[in-house]
Structure 1
Amino acid sequence: MQSSQSIESSLSPLVPAYASILSLAPYQTGKPVEELTREYGISDVVKLASNENPVGCSPKVTLAITEQLGQLARYPDGNGYYLKQALADFNDVNVDQITLGNGSDDLLDILARSFVGAGDAIVYSQYAFVVYSMLAKMQGAMDVEVPAQRFGHDLKAMSQAVQDNPNTKLVFIANPNNPTGTQLAHKELHAFVASVPSSVLVVLDEAYIEYSPESNNRALLDEFDNVVIVRTFSKAYGLAGLRVGYALSSVAVADLLNRIRQPFNVSRIGLAAAAAALADQDFIERTRLMNDEQMRWLEKQFDALGLGFIKSHANFIMVKIEVEMEDITAASIHEALLEQGVIIRPLAAYGLHNWLRITVGLAEDNLRLIDTLRSILTDD
């Protein structure tokens, strides 16, 4: 990666709005299947890196997409009327409390651009979604990373960090957390929100809520105007390729976000697909049951292999690679799995150098992962 100095010299006389932008590293996505095929010549690839739904999406989505194919020359409904109405009914909120986004990342970006300026602060937890830190740097703001507690959010310490930094504008909390899979209790979150000033916006990133319905903190919106809940159709709903997300908030916050968001930020196909996906909750229930069953099976296999892991409330599991052989590391395991056509996610970018994040796949995908992992660990 280029140093800040070399980037700055190559940009001269162009200067970014904030010097902190120069310290940004591009976000590393999970390696695409196509890229692995090009690099290694492997056609039979299992991707367990990006927390996608291995089942795919509801058949109702396919039908909804087909019905839109004759309208691709037309702009989408910029207000997303039908999807917003469906989301309002599903979440028991007013339509005016909803903001649509091009995936939940788009909404996180809109929130930062709406509320954070140079000299402000964003508070988030160690081992939380790396995008939170990136957003602070993009805005020329101070990123306040609070040490994790048992790989999850230490809400008391985060509350203290807000008090210690009166310039705090946003607090990001992922629940369940990515990449660790930890979960916060309702009482903890309620106490935290009550402890921070009403001028601080608390953003609950609930990207994995469908895998952990007990993590639903929708009720906080009825009591606190400074809470925003962000969700996505990319995970359990299986629409990662279409990029659709939504935020629930007070009417006042939603009004501001809708002023900032780009017009037509959700495509015509995305709007139709998301509405159809939301209507098929039987599909979501089947997805959750499959995920729970396969998660338990994977946990047993990791125990048998002597690998530690963090109990997860999402559709992925964080596994520790710490074995006696010196040449076995998380990085070497990741590379060896790639060579065998199995894509998982290394976590060095999070400071978790001995850990790998593995998406829960279909039974056959998980079996191949474990068989391949076992062969790597026992190879003389």
Structure 2
Amino acid sequence: MSAPAGQQERADTAAPAGKPAAPAPRAIVQAMKEYHPPLGGRGGMRLDFNENTLACSPAVRAALSAVTTSDLTRYPERGPVEALVAEHLGVAAEQVLLTNGVDEAIHVLCQCYLDETSEILLPVPTYSMYEVYASATGAKIVCIEADAADFAFPYERVLAAITPRTRLIALANPNSPTGTSMRREQILEIARRAPQAMVLADEAYFHFHGETVLDLVGAAEYPNLVVARTFSKAFGLAGLRLGMLAAAAESMHWLRRVISPYSVNALALACLPAALADTAYLDWYVEEVKAARAEFGAVCSELGVRTWHSDANFLLLAIGPKHREFCRAMHAHGILVRDRSNDPGCNGCVRITVGTRDQMRAAQDALRTVLQGL
């Protein structure tokens, strides 16, 4: 399994005797990828960020109301809630780390395992924050493009790209912005072929897909497997910024040394147990989204708009050269959507989050009107 970056001294960073060491700037800094979330002007139906489009569980609201002003004076303690999450998921408590959203989880992995001597493998298009955080470490970013015709996972090309310098492989399953997924056995074979690297299975959209490798976290055969989950999507807690990592206890030892001890806030920790307990609400919302996804996809087909099979809570639409006009027109009709034309292989594509059936029927009406206008 990969050793964390920076655990060995480097001769080229040693300071002359009697003189303090100065931070050595990395050449990669000039090429760092930045992310500027287009969060302004989001008045309308939120079909742009893959959030829960309705509400969190009513039980979460009750838990939030029970937080006292005295509770807010204390530093948050994530340990007891991590143990509860571990029990909920069927893994050991020492294998779970709660994070400030999956973004922090990715950041921690990159800081722990990447440096300027290493490589990260990214099947693209994919979630942009992998590249953002990896670029800050100076690691070489190796992108492997998906099949152009159907965005199928480039499994054989990923295997061929593994080298002794590979230290992290990020696999979003299902993927964003495409919604496509990979087979469980493919993830496990990649982990077997790259024992020197951490293999991240980012299962942010797990609830809309249902397949996981979480049951093999910590297994002797896969010590390098790490799974990410989020509570921002199906659970509807995006505003509380709450995610998690599950990995072997040995890996967690290093990850806990990198993460801030208080990065998960007290409100998030107070609300998560209630969210986990209300399985009825979660199951209802997930089934509602799945039904709406099938219905909206059928309407797109009827209107002659190509979509790709999605196992997530969104669909990618091939709009074509007028993708910008399409997004503006949908916004004018009160529907927010996301232009993904800048993603590799996605020129002319727009992503639409899937909400409830009622919400998506309103989106269908807007879609018909906008397409006629274009």
TM-score (norm: length of structure 2): 0.88
Alpha-carbon distance in structure 2 between the residues aligned to 1:349 and 1:357? 12
* In the alignment, structure 1 residue 58 sits paired with structure 2 residue 57: yes
CA contact (8 A) 2:72 2:266 kept: no
Deviation at residue 216 of structure 1 after TM alignment: 4.6
For residue 351 of structure 2, give the secondary structure of its aligned residue in structure 1.
Answer: strand
- 1:219 aligned residue: 216
- 2:204 aligned residue: 207
What does residue range 159-170 of structure 1 map to in structure 2 within 5 Å?
Answer: 159-163=159-163, 166-170=164-168
- 2:232 aligned residue: 234
* Residue-by-residue CA offset, 1:8-61 (whole Å, 9 max, x unaligned): xxxxxxx993333333343143534xx245xxxxxxx11100111123111111
CA contact (8 A) 2:33 2:131 kept: no
- 2:349 aligned residue: 355
Alpha-carbon distance in structure 1 between the residues aligned to 2:112 and 2:105? 10
The unaligned stretches of length 5 or more in structure 1 are 1-14, 38-44, 323-327
Which amino acid in structure 1 is aligned with residue 25 of structure 2? A
Which amino acid in structure 1 is aligned with residue 45 of structure 2? V
Deviation at residue 368 of structure 1 after TM alignment: 2.3
Alpha-carbon distance in structure 1 between the residues aligned to 2:334 and 2:242? 29
Which amino acid in structure 1 is aligned with residue 138 of structure 2? G
* Residue-by-residue CA offset, 1:107-154 (whole Å, 9 max, x unaligned): 100010011111311101011111111122111111000121331421
Deviation at residue 175 of structure 1 after TM alignment: 0.4
Identity over aligned residues, as a percent?
26
The unaligned stretches of length 5 or more in structure 2 are 1-22
For residue 122 of structure 2, give the secondary structure of its aligned residue in structure 1.
Answer: strand
Alpha-carbon distance in structure 2 between the residues aligned to 1:249 and 1:314? 23
Deviation at residue 279 of structure 1 after TM alignment: 1.5
Residues 217, 96 of structure 1: alpha-carbon distance in 2 compared, 3 angstrom cutoff: closer
Which amino acid in structure 2 is aligned with residue 173 of structure 1? L
Which amino acid in structure 1 is aligned with residue 301 of structure 2? D
- 1:179 aligned residue: 177
Residues 23, 338 of structure 1: alpha-carbon distance in 2 compared, 3 angstrom cutoff: farther
Deviation at residue 220 of structure 1 after TM alignment: 4.8
Alpha-carbon distance in structure 1 between the residues aligned to 2:80 and 2:66? 15
Deviation at residue 193 of structure 1 after TM alignment: 1.6
Alpha-carbon distance in structure 1 between the residues aligned to 2:60 and 2:90? 23
Deviation at residue 185 of structure 1 after TM alignment: 1.4
Alpha-carbon distance in structure 1 between the residues aligned to 2:153 and 2:289? 24
Which amino acid in structure 2 is aligned with residue 211 of structure 1? F
- 2:146 aligned residue: 148
- 2:244 aligned residue: 246
* Residue-by-residue CA offset, 1:71-104 (whole Å, 9 max, x unaligned): 35323433x1221111111122111111111001
Deviation at residue 291 of structure 1 after TM alignment: 0.7
Which deviates more, 218-227 or 308-317? 218-227
CA contact (8 A) 1:203 1:229 kept: yes
- 2:269 aligned residue: 271
CA contact (8 A) 2:34 2:132 kept: no
- 1:22 aligned residue: 30
Residues 18, 75 of structure 1: alpha-carbon distance in 2 compared, 3 angstrom cutoff: farther
- 1:192 aligned residue: 190
- 1:10 aligned residue: none
What does residue range 99-118 of structure 1 map to in structure 2 within 5 Å?
Answer: 99-118=97-116
Q: State the superposition RMSD in angstroms.
A: 1.8
> Matched residue pairs, number?
348
Alpha-carbon distance in structure 1 between the residues aligned to 2:266 and 2:340? 35
* Residue-by-residue CA offset, 1:185-211 (whole Å, 9 max, x unaligned): 122222222222x22110111101111
Residues 221, 331 of structure 1: alpha-carbon distance in 2 compared, 3 angstrom cutoff: farther
Runs of 4+ in 1 over 3 A off after TM superposition: none
CA contact (8 A) 2:217 2:246 kept: no
CA contact (8 A) 2:199 2:226 kept: yes
Which amino acid in structure 1 is aligned with residue 355 of structure 2? G
CA contact (8 A) 2:291 2:357 kept: no
Which amino acid in structure 1 is aligned with residue 276 of structure 2? L
For residue 230 of structure 1, give the secondary structure of its aligned residue in structure 2.
Answer: strand
Alpha-carbon distance in structure 2 between the residues aligned to 1:52 and 1:279? 20
* In the alignment, structure 1 residue 335 sits paired with structure 2 residue 334: no
TM-score (norm: length of structure 1): 0.87
Residues 65, 36 of structure 1: alpha-carbon distance in 2 compared, 3 angstrom cutoff: closer
Which amino acid in structure 2 is aligned with residue 155 of structure 1? Y
Which amino acid in structure 2 is aligned with residue 20 of structure 1? I
What does residue range 290-301 of structure 1 map to in structure 2 within 5 Å?
Answer: 290-301=288-299
Residues 370, 19 of structure 1: alpha-carbon distance in 2 compared, 3 angstrom cutoff: farther
Of 90, 96, 99, 1:98 maps to: 96
For residue 103 of structure 2, give the secondary structure of its aligned residue in structure 1.
Answer: helix
